[in-house]
Amino acid sequence: MSRLLVCPPEFFGIEYEINPWMRLTNRVDHGRAVRQWHELMRVFEQDLGVVLERMTPIPGLPDLVFTANAGIVVGRTAVVSRFRYPERQREEAHFENWFRKHGYEVMTGEAGIHFEGAGDLLGFPEYWFGGYRQRSDIRVFPILSEHFHREIIPLELVDSRFYHLDTCFCPLSGGELLYFPAAFDSYGQTAIAERVPDKLRLTVPEDEALKFACNAVCVGKHVVLPAGCPTTQAWLRIRGYETHPVQLDEFMRSGGSAKCLTLALD
Amino acid sequence: MSHYQESVYLQGHIIDSLVLAKVLDLILMMGGTFDLEDVHIGKTRAEPSHARIRIRTASRMLLDDILRKIQPHGASIEREADCRTDRAPADGVLPDDFYATTHLPTQIRLNGRWLDVDRIEMDLAITVNEAGSVAQAVPMGEVRQGDQIVVGREGVRVIPLQRPQERDVFGFMESQVSAERPHGHIIADIAARMRQLKERRSLRQTDSHVLLSGGPAIIHAGGREALTWLIEQGFIHILFCGNALAAHDMEADLFGTSLGYGLTAGRAVPHGHEHHLRTINRIRSIGSIEAAVTSGVIKQGVMAACIRQGVPMVISGTIRDDGPLPGVITDSIQAQRAMRALIPDIGLALLVASTLHSVATGNLLPATVPTVCVDVNPSIPTKLADRGSFQAVGLVMDAASFLSELARLLGRST
């Protein structure tokens, strides 16, 4: 059974601008955001049977809701993020506390080497991909690779709208991949194409990529993704996945969607 | 030297991700060059790879730009240490762990800054002035007690030669020496270089001198006129030789023989074996080669041309010399010193028909100087051409044919 770490959006809002989606003038409809988040949780718990671990939200930390950036969890080890921007660095201690309280062996990275957790480290069981340049520092991947004995292929993110790897890249349980190639440079596109065969790769159309179609959560043969991505949904269904679109546009104002709002614990 | 360089280290899964390719492409696209050192490719998917990349540029600014551009891709600058120095314990004695030089351009790191080593030459030590602002290669015998000498290998780097931009015979690694190859195009390239250097020298540009280091076979084989012409026409600017070349050159002028052989008749003349001794005795009685030329006793030939053209000569003695002629330096260390003093401005070295002088000269030359070694014995050009230099060319041929062809290509009518 899957377990996800989430954080209720009590204090979610836009209080600073650290990515091209965030505009202080673009106010979040708080009530609507809360309703969207609860609907997402309902899909996970009721439709997919996922176990949710809820963190306590903290006033003044509007992005704590994006638990994908807490760190990464591998077995009983949690690697806590080292955020690039000071605005989010204050979240680190809270994520670390949560991991410690829940019995994880906590690994903290070297100061000065930024790493934004599962937002920038995704993959298949045998090997992972690491997004760098926008938020995470490429130097973190050799360290994690050595610790977890896993190959990590770094991919440079070249479009600031796709500032985390999980905004443009989504590996699925059957070995397929949803991705938006233009978010990567030609070296990254070649590296991806050499690893994932053509027929297993879906190039998400730009309009759906901009709705964060790739910011999807795959649980077995189910994929939870933002609403309004018909091409992506159709392809997923052909590949045998059951799709669960959820309206999450209030979170898109902050540059986040389904995947950003969860962290896989097991 | 316009070499700026820095080593960076790249590690992780840099092969399949094409991160290594990207970093190397960036270096090239920005106008730098690189050498890949210590590349290790992981044997399994999980095992990471690593590479050490030495980046070179023509300017400090470009190097900094490149480093700034590649750092986000994980290239970390290697931590470098200053070189260590120790005091020479006595005159002529180096500290135990002294750094022994190669003939390649070398830099040492002092106070965080890379400093070129001046007057580089193989098999010397490196001395640093008290202010730490000048580094120079120094022969063991020249060291004075208390001199600061570089010890160990840390903080010393040797810069491999860049392939020269000229697309002539010096632009290719030609250490393979063979008598069975055509010589024409090689001599034509040498002539072209000499024409350029003559032009550069007339404009008083640096590294524009042509050195000829030669043996007496030049005279015996009939290359005397061609060499004389080359000196008179201003194509050769420094001469290194021994007692024999000078003696037989002047013997030819006084007696028309070389080691007793009539140069025009082509056969031994009666009592000809005495001619070189009588020549040496004559010059000794006059007092100097220069006086012999200016007084008109010696009228033509290599010595006369050098004196008239003001071409500096270093005539080094050997253990089997007759005489020797006045001006021959019989102390080898002094001779070395005199030769070394003329090395800095050399732009081309012709080492012709002399094992002894060719090897001695070859040892004094930095690897950056284009060098031609001509000998009928293939082992000499092979030895000299195979010095790890892009710019050494060996020719297995007779000295007279080489010099005559060279002079012909430079405009001498035959």
The verdict on whether A260 is a catalytic residue reads yes
A185 and B22 in contact by Cβ < 8 A? yes
Distance between CA atoms of residues A185 and A125, nearest Å: 25
C-alpha span between B175 and B167 (Å, rounded):
16
Strand order of the sheet with strand A127-132?
Answer: A121-123, A127-132, A151-156
Q: Which of B18, B23, B68 would you mutate first to test chain A, the one with the most A CBs within 10 A?
A: B18
Half-sphere exposure for B308 (CA within 13 Å, toward CB): 19
Give the CATH class of B169-409.
alpha beta
List, in sequence order, the alpha helices (H) in chain A: 30-42, 86-89, 92-101, 140-148, 186-195, 206-209, 230-238, 249-252
| CA B182 vs CA A97, B179, B397, B412: distances in Å | 80, 8, 10, 22
Nearest CA in chain B to A152: B13
Residue B346 · residue B304 · CB < 8 Å: no
Are residues B19 and A126, on separate chains, in Cβ contact within 8 Å?
no
Which one from A114, A164, A222, A244 is the annotated catalytic residue? A164
Q: Which helix (H) or strand (E) holds B73?
A: none
Q: What is the pLDDT of residue B169?
A: 72
Q: Where are the beta strands (DSSP E) in B94-155?
A: 106-110, 113-118, 125-128, 135-138, 148-151
- Under 8 Å between Cβ of B73 and A139: no
Q: What CATH number belongs to A3-264? A: 3.75.10.10
Residues 6+ apart with CB under 8 A from B119: B136, B137, B340, B343, B344
| Per-residue model confidence (pLDDT) at position B1 | 42
Q: Which residue is closest to B49 within chain A, CA to CA?
A: A142
Mutation site, A139, A155, A169, A186, interface B, largest B CB count within 10 A: A139
- Residue by residue, pLDDT tens for chain A (266 residues) are 699 999 999 999 999 999 999 999 989 999 999 999 999 999 999 999 999 999 999 999 999 999 999 999 999 999 999 999 999 999 999 999 999 999 999 998 888 899 999 999 999 999 999 999 999 999 999 999 999 999 999 999 999 999 999 999 999 999 999 999 999 999 999 999 999 999 999 999 999 999 999 999 999 999 999 999 999 999 999 999 999 999 999 999 999 999 999 999 97
The CATH number of the structural domain formed by B4-77 is 3.30.70.2690
Residue B227: partners with Cβ closer than 8 Å, 6 or more residues away? B212, B214, B218, B236, B302, B403, B407
What is the spatial distance between Cα A29 and Cα A8, in angstroms, rounded to a whole number? Answer: 15
Q: Mark yes or no for CB contact B46/A151 under 8 Å.
A: yes
CA dist A258 and A250 (Å) reads 11
**Cα torsion A208, A209, A212, A218: sign:** positive
Per-residue pLDDT of chain B (414 residues; tens, 9 = 90+): 447 888 899 999 999 999 999 999 999 999 999 999 889 998 888 888 999 999 999 998 999 899 989 988 989 887 778 999 999 999 999 999 999 998 888 999 998 888 999 999 999 999 999 999 999 999 999 999 999 999 998 888 887 666 566 667 776 545 456 666 778 888 999 999 999 999 999 999 989 999 999 999 999 999 999 999 999 999 999 999 999 999 999 999 999 988 878 777 777 888 888 999 999 999 999 999 999 999 999 999 999 999 999 999 999 999 999 999 999 999 999 999 999 999 999 999 999 999 889 989 998 999 889 999 999 998 888 877 666 555 678 889 999 999 999 999 999 987
- Examine the residue annotation and report whether A114 is marked as an active-site residue of this protein: no
Rounded Cα distance between A150 and B183, Å, is: 59
Helix (H, G, I), strand (E, B) or coil at B407: helix
Measured between alpha carbons, how far is B43 from A109 in angstroms, rounded to an integer? Answer: 27
pTM beyond 0.80, yes or no: no
Cα distances (Å, whole numbers) of residue B244 to A154, B253, B278, B279, B356? 70, 14, 13, 11, 12
The structural architecture, per CATH, of the domain B84-158 is: Beta Barrel (2.40)
Instruction: Please tell me the distance from the alpha carbon of residue B412 to that of residue A49, in angstroms, as a whole number.
Output: 98
Neighbour count for residue B38 (Cβ, 10 Å)? 10
The residue extents of the domains of chain B are 4-77, 84-158, 169-409
Chain A interface residues (partner B, CB cutoff 8 A): 126-127, 132-133, 138-139, 141-142, 145-146, 149-156, 185, 187-188, 190-191, 194-195
Amino acid residing at B49: S
CA atoms of B351 and B399, how far apart (whole Å): 10
Residue given tokens 């879906």 in the structure block: A202
Domain boundaries, chain A: 3-264
What residues have CB less than 8 Å from B341, skipping those under 6 apart? Answer: none
- Cross-chain Cβ contact A145/B12 below 8 Å: yes
Q: Tokens in use for A169?
A: 């890249």
Nearest CA in chain B to A144: B12
CA distance A174 to A220: 8
Dihedral class, residue A125 (left if φ above 0, else alpha if ψ from -120 to 50, else beta): alpha
Query: Is ipTM strictly over 0.90?
Result: no
Cα B113 to chain centroid distance, Å, stands at: 27
